[in-house]
Each structure stands twice: as C-alpha cells, then as structure tokens.
Structure 1
C-alpha cells in the first residue's frame, strides 16, 4: 500500500515579499491495478486508501456488480510491491462478464463514440431511474459546506477532490471520501456505501469538482436523485442527467447554485 501524503521541500517565491524555503505536504498518487477474476480490468491513478471501496464503486458503475453480495472477495496481491494490485472475485452469472481488459463505460467520456451512444450504454446497465425524492436547496448548500469542512486531506495538501453522500432520511453526510481523481472520489463514496449496505437510492451526492459525464453515470447507476458539484457541468453531463433522471446541480457555492435538469426535486 502506498502513502496518502508525503512531505517535500519547496521554494516559495513571492514577488512582493521574496523567497522562502519550506516543507509542503503533498497528496499521494500511485497506480492501482484492479483485477476481476484474476484478469486485469483497469489501472487507475489514485490516492491510496479506501481501495476496496474504490473497486466496488467502479465495478458497480461499470455494470459488473449490482449489490454487495456480488463480490465474493477483494484481496491485495501481496507478492507485488512495485504496483498496488487488488484482485476482486465476483459471484454468479456476473463472473463471466468480468473477464475484460478494458473499461467499457467509464472511458466513454473520452472515446470516439458520440454522446448519444455513451448515454445509451449507461442506460443499458442502469437498473432503475432515481426515485422522486425532494431535497431542499438549504440541504444541498449545507452538505457542500460540511464536505469542505471534512476534507482533511485537502486541508493538508490542497490537492485532492472530495465526495460526500447524504442518504434519504439523513440530515448530514454519512460518508466522505477523498482522492486525487474526482472520479475516484465518487467511486470510493458510492463503493463505500455498497460495502456498508447504505442505500443510495434517492440520495444526495455532493462533489468538489466539475460535473462530468462519468460522474453523472456513476450517480445514475447508484440511483442518486441529486448530484451537486461546485463547478461547471459539461454538455454531455447535462444530456446524460436529463435522460437518466438525475437532478444535476452545478456551480453550487455558498448559497448559490444552478439546477440544470429535473429541477422539480429542489423546491424553489
């Protein structure tokens, strides 16, 4: 296992006050190879920590698992120290689908397929549309405020994204995860919910990043009702959220936010 963070010497240059030398805490970034049934599924760069949650979230978003019981085991290959390797064994009929060397959904946002094809691919593995749960704008703002306050690694490094989950009926974030990759942070929090048997149907998901197609995909597969991000959405993210029934909120900062799809879930 790698390090969540490390300390490095740095020369700080201030054109007004001069040059100083200091020690900076920097977020860790190392590769993780995820194997399914002994076969390489993907290699992703991530901040070490909550790797089992990351694998659960990724495999759920990819359509290879749908419930915690679909995973028989998740074990690190301890004989390999040059690259973190996590082998996941899945159960039942899905085990035959897992033998692949490429990520077939999460990579669609950057591939040559058109947007419509990408959204249709997500629809094919999405079990149901999110339920019609309402979340007050105050709840969305409060969850994002809480997320910022609970991002300990970001506070130390300034170099990671965070994701937090508020299940239906809760009044605060039940889970918070951080990672150098925004997609990984979302996989970790949704995968953590799967591992802990926390219901994500109708939940509020808040993310400290822009809203990309991939993040909407992950939210939709987990039946998240409202996805709120601090920065801008992409055009494909908006199209996907509209088609998949996810309420997409962008530029959620302080007491302001822009609701791009299914605004009826946020009373206004």
Structure 2
C-alpha cells in the first residue's frame, strides 16, 4: 500500500481558480498482533512498518531487545463494507508479530491484570495507573552544543520526502552529536514516527551515547517516555513540551529542548548539558 496518493483538487486564491493534482499522505489502521493476540490498532502511514513494529514493541516494553521479536509478517486486509468511505472499500494492515515466550507471557499477564478496569484511552492503556509509567532505563548523559540542535533541525526537511509531497506528516530523526542527521522516519502520527525511528535505530544497532533525537512536533509525555526508554539522552522538539513531559524528562535524566528553531532553543531540563 502506497504512503502517497494523488487527487485532483481546486486551488483558490487571488488568481483564477485552477484544478491540479495534489499529493495526500495516506493513513490506514494498523493492527499489532502478538503471537495471534491483537494488542493495539494505530492509524499510521503505511511505510517502514517493520521499523514501526519493532520500535513500538520496544518503546511499549512488550519486548526487551530487538532479538525478542522473532518474526514480523505484514498482511493487508479489506475492512467490512460498513467501514468503507464514499463507496470505496478501505484497507487495513495487520502486523503479525512473533515474540519470545518470555515476552508473550508477560504481555498476557499485563492484559489479564488490566481486564475490566476503567479505560483512559491512552494508546490502548486500560487503567489510569498504567497511563503514566516511570522510565526504567538509564539514558546516555550526552552533552551537545546549541549549534548541533540548529543543524539537526536545518537538515531534517531535506530528508522528509513525504512531508515535502503532502505537508501532512511528522518526522523523527536520529542525529549525531554534531547535529548531522543520520536516520529519519516519517508518519502522519508523531508517536508513530518516533516508534519507527526507534525500530530503525535498534536494527542499525545505534549506540544511544552517539547522538540525540529531533522531532518536528511538540514534546508530549509519550515522546519523552519513548525517547528515554530507548536510552537516548536528549530530545529536541520544534514546538513546546507539556508539563508532564518536563517532569518525566527531569526524572529520567533526559535533556529536553523545545522551540528549537534557527539558532534558538529553550532548554527545560538539565541545561548544563547544552553548551
């Protein structure tokens, strides 16, 4: 399934109206199925889905390391007629994941414990107690210069091919300590883009001490949690963080920088590690 589609649109403005082709970022429901049990369904861009499967599994604590994910099979499937839009059958994608028995039994116990509790609607979480989790991994105590943050944000647009074509996607980038962009993943959802990046980093066996993550979005709690859970010591965001995100970053030892634009940045936690 292509992440980019085209549609004829009508452009309006000060000049005469004109019809032309425009690019649209596709989004589809993606089900993550572990050892035959459906765990979550996310709306995502249908690209880099193996990275997404691995990154989501790691950042959500379903697996502990990359080799706990034994297999990943992508299966497109038509949704029911009642779920079609404008008479066009919609498609979904199932990621059939096979994980180690240890991880699967832990996931089953987690689901059993959560069964019947009041839902809070946070990424499939079914209890308020599960909504906010402490980071259980030490992050790399990186030190960077403000010039590195500026370089990362300046280089990212050239790597955002889907965004250039549609203007509708977020990106997450793994950057060296000098700010050079090394890996980029895109998605209609900012959390999905970060999960895809974390998966790509795991496959590339990236050392978290060698750089930082930059994102083209605000820094919510989940963005901070996923970054810290990957062992990365700095998150640079183009927009603002939330209060919970700042408290989580402070507790985890993560440097959190927001409003990273041009040569400016606002450092909310551990500012001594930004030169």
TM-score, length of structure 1 as denominator length? 0.87
Matching of residue 185 in structure 1 with residue 197 in structure 2: no
Residue of structure 1 in register with 2:83 after alignment: none
Cα distance in 1 between the residues matched to 2:210 and 2:272: 14
Cα distance between partner residues in 2 of 1:18 and 1:159: 25
CA spacing shift, 1:58–1:232, aligned 2, 3 Å = same
**Aligned residues of 2:120 and 2:126 also touching (Cα < 8 A):** no
- Contact in 2 for aligned 1:109/1:118 (Cα 8 Å): no
Q: Is 1:8–2:10 an aligned residue pair?
A: no
Between the aligned partners of 1:245 and 1:105, the Cα distance in structure 2 is 27
2:140 matches 1:131: yes
| 1:104-152 deviation digits (Å, cap 9, x = unpaired) | 99927998838xx744x233xx222x12220111111101111122111
Separation in 1 of the partners of 2:120 and 2:174? 22
Does the 8 Å contact 1:73/1:89 carry over to 2? yes
Please show how residues 197-216 of structure 1 align to structure 2 within 5 Å: 197-201=205-209, 203-216=211-224
**1: distance between equivalents of 2:222 and 2:40?**
15
Structure 1, unpaired ranges of 5+: none
- Cross-structure match for 1:245: 253
d(CA) in 1 for partners of 2:122, 2:273: 29
1:113 pairs with one of 128, 137, 140: 128
- Give the Cα separation in 1 of the matches to 2:68 and 2:121: 20
Matched, 1:50 2:25: no
Partner residue in 1 for 2:160: 151
Flag the 1:77–1:111 CA change in 2: closer, same or farther, 3 A: closer
- 1:186/1:5 CA distance change after superposition, 3 Å: same
Q: 1:122 maps to what in 2?
A: 134
1:161 pairs with 2:170 = yes
Q: Following the alignment from structure 2 to structure 1, what is the Cα–Cα distance between the partners of residues 8 and 123?
A: 39
Q: Tell me which residue corresponds to 1:97.
A: 106
Cα distance per residue 1:204-238 (max 9 Å; x no partner)? 10000111111001001011111001011111111
Q: Secondary structure at the match of 2:73?
A: strand
1:38 maps to which residue?
36
CA-based RMSD of the aligned residues comes to 2.5
Equivalent-residue separation in structure 2 for 1:154 and 1:17 (angstroms): 26
Q: Sort the Cα spacing of 1:73 and 1:56 in 2 relative to 1 into closer, same or farther, 3 A.
A: same
Residue 88 of structure 1 and its aligned partner are, at CA, apart by: 1.0
What is the CA deviation profile of residues 51-96 of structure 1, one whole-angstrom value per residue up to 9, with x for unaligned ones? 0111111111111112111111111236x34421011111142121
Match of 2:149 among 113, 122, 140: 140
Aligned length: 256
What is the match of residue 87 of structure 2?
A: none
Distance 2:171 2:213 in 1: 11
Instruction: Report runs of 4+ in structure 1 exceeding 6 Å deviation.
Output: 108-112
